[in-house]
Structure 1
Amino acid sequence: MNTSSPIGVFDSGLGGISVLHTLVQTMPQENYIFFGDSKHNPYGTKTKEEITKRCIEICDHFIQQDVKAIVIACNTATSACVNLLRKRYSIPIIGMEPALKVACEIGDHQKILVWATDFTLREKKFADLMKQFEANHEIVKVACPKLVRLVEENQLNDVEYVQDVLSSYLPHQNFDSLVLGCTHFVFYKSILEKMVPSILIIDGNTGTVNHLKDILTQNHLLNTGKGSIVFQNSLETKISLSKELFEYLK
């Protein structure tokens, strides 16, 4: 492993491409391998044991490719096994969690809507996060499984249908902010900003990427060459869609 070694980025499917996009914007000189586990998507309906097994297999695959760090670009996978993965591997493992802290720090007595997968919302990791803030803020959780499928099934260009699905997850009451607690949901950020302009839309991508950059800097592992991206997937047929989705965010 050296400075030019790639950074492994993986997700249950293709949502993590939104994290990859932020990574490339922030550190364009780095080499990246993105692995989408579309064959086993969605993770949000699986058991913790099933998710952990897949994450270990993917990380082992990355280690064989001499990655210098791994980004779990999936809130569900992070909730399931980030601590186990950090104990198992000697390289930095960067996880994600819903950016609830960011929303709460905007001001006192915030009304916050959190969209995520059912797994993320019912796990202890998120429950512990909520406990830190729920006494001073109103926090409403909503599981949004259809939003994962729209990305995976390449339906983002069906704007009317997408807006209908997004509307179905928006309560009638007003909120100060909407936390996108799944990397798939970041694909809807620009649409949501037009649909509900009075609500601040927050995701955890930038915080995650900046954390990785800090770690690479501290360990003198930042690359100085020209960056590259390699797309991999447990379903070969999804690689072309992976590239399309990356371009969609540009």
Structure 2
Amino acid sequence: MINSAPIGLFDSGIGGTSIWREIHTLLPSEDTIYLADSKNAPYGQKSKDEIIALSKKNTEFLLNQNAKLIVVACNTATTNAISELRARYDVPFIGIEPAIKPAAKSSETHTIGILATKGTLSSELFSQSVLNYPTTKIIEQVGFGLVQLIEEGKMNSTEMTNLLHNYLKPMVEANIDYLVLGCSHYPYLIPQIKKIIPKHIKIIDSGEAVARQTKNILSEMNLLNTQKKSSQIFYTNYNPMVLKSILKDKYQVIEKDF
């Protein structure tokens, strides 16, 4: 493996670009290849076997592009498939999980909310994580329909606003003081979420922590790229215009069937 090889990232669509942004900000010299499997979004409604199969397919695509490290920029894929990926492929993997720990440790009301996909909330890994915080009340909410609307470019639609009100109101009434976003698509909804929840409720996602972990692993393996220039390439298998709009046409987006 050479230092100039790219970091690979995949998600069930455009949401993982929120993770990519944090990595690119922290490691601007690194080449990245991002894979948006929007054709199969959302992963959160699929079976574990389907999620594992899609994650293997995405991994092999990125390995064929010589990725030196792969970021599973999808909570559902991480919680359902990352152990299988690590056992099968000889490349370091970094996953993304709901940031329960910092929320639970900092909560003064001992009540936190988690907005995530069905696939994440029903996973064994998530269930095990929750058991670590027996004194914290965790309000779980499946974000039915949110990923689909984001993938359709309808982030600011009336339908989105109505869904968010329905999902967040019970959490606010339960006296949460932290809201954990358990899907990499959801950080794009933060501006709308802030209009709905009281100002004292803090919002947490996993982007910065994933970026720091990526840097740490590359450093430990002596794989950091020290070149000044870098390339950022994005692949999607469905509706490239949505991905382009998220990236504001700054980067190369390639539509490819995979």
Q: Same fold (TM over 0.5)?
A: yes
Contact 1:108 1:136 in 2 (8 A): no
- The equivalent of 2:77 in structure 1 is 77
1:202 and 2:201 correspond? no
Question: Which residue does 1:67 correspond to in 2?
Answer: 67
- Indicate whether 1:22 and 2:34 are aligned: no
**Structural mapping, 1:1-250, within 5 Å:** 1-107=1-107, 110-133=110-133, 135-158=134-157, 160-170=158-168, 171=170, 172-196=173-197, 197-225=199-227, 226-235=229-238, 238-247=239-248
Gaps spanning 5+ residues in structure 2: where?
250-258
The number of residues matched between the two structures is 244
CA distance in 2, matches of 1:38, 1:227: 25
Shift of 1:203: 0.5
Provide TM-score, normalisation by structure 1: 0.93
Q: Deviations over 1:112-163 (max 9, x none)?
A: 0001001111111100000000x211111000022111210101243x4433
Q: How far 1:222 moved relative to its partner?
A: 1.0
What is the rounded CA distance, in whole Å, between the counterparts of 1:72 and 1:93 in structure 2?
7
For residues 243 and 225 of structure 2, the distance between their equivalents in structure 1, rounded to whole angstroms, comes to 24
1:149 partner letter: Q
Aligned CA RMSD, in angstroms, stands at 1.5
Q: What letter is aligned with 1:136?
A: T
Counterparts of 2:192 and 2:90 in 1: how far apart (Å)? 40
Cα offsets for 1:220-248 (capped at 9, x unmatched): 1111221221110122xx33321211339
2:106 aligns to what SS in structure 1?
Answer: coil
* 8 A Cα contact 1:231 1:243, kept in partner: no
**Percent of aligned pairs sharing the same letter:** 36
* Structure 2 residue identity aligned to 1:56: K
Is this contact kept in 1: 2:109–2:177, CA < 8 A?
no
Letter in 1 for 2:185: H
44-53 vs 103-112, greater mean Cα deviation:
103-112
Q: Deviations over 1:63-87 (max 9, x none)?
A: 1111110000000001111011011
